[in-house]
Amino acid sequence: MTGQIDIKRFFLLIILWGCLLPGLVSAETAPRFSLRDSSGDEVSLSDFQGQPLVLHFWATWCPYCKKLQPGLQRLGRDYKEAGLVVLGISFSEDDGAQPQAVLRQRGLSFTTLIEGDSVASLYAVRGTPTTFFIDREGNIVAVTNTSDPDDPVLEKQARAISR
């Protein structure tokens, strides 16, 4: 009988640990940055304080980014009332690239910042696409490298940061 009690206690501890662990792990604060958009206006992370933010690192030459971006546009539309903003950061571009014009040609309306190599380094981005989900408090909740515009992770994280 004592073997059964020990097993029950063991499973109870595992369940309790699983319930408590998420509350004990704190999210990382998103590093601050300032970059320019294609009009030359300065945009900073602090401009989005109190808003859920999908921060999308990409490049005009990246076919995986092109595939993903309609899904990000859809998130921006679906969670607009919750204040969610989709913001691109273009980096590792070829000379003469026009990232905002490329988005417009693709039928996308979210803003992208340009010459974002320093911010990509700050966020330890290793490739494209890389997408961060930042909550209203400025904490990085999730990061993904998916290129699937219908990946359920995108919806799940957008919902989480939009609460």
Burial class (CB in 10 A: 0-12, 13-18, 19+), 157: buried
pLDDT value, residue 4:
53
Instruction: Compute the half-sphere exposure of residue 38: CA atoms within 13 Å on the CB side of its CA.
Output: 16
The arithmetic mean of pLDDT across residues 142-161, rounded, is 98
Statement: residue 57 has pLDDT above 60? yes
Which CATH number fits the domain 27-161, given the four candidates 3.40.30.10, 3.40.50.720, 3.40.190.290, 3.30.460.20?
A: 3.40.30.10
Statement: residue 11 has pLDDT above 90? no
Mean of per-residue pLDDT scores for the chain: 89
The arithmetic mean of pLDDT across residues 128-137, rounded, is 98
Q: Where is pLDDT greater, at 10 or 49?
A: 49
- DSSP assignment of 47-88: GGTTS-EEEEEE-TT-HHHHHHHHHHHHHHHHTGGGT-EEEE
Domain residue spans of the chain: 27-161
Statement: residue 18 has pLDDT above 50? no
The arithmetic mean of pLDDT across residues 98-102, rounded, is 98
pLDDT value, residue 27:
75
- State what percent of residues in the chain have pLDDT above 70: 84
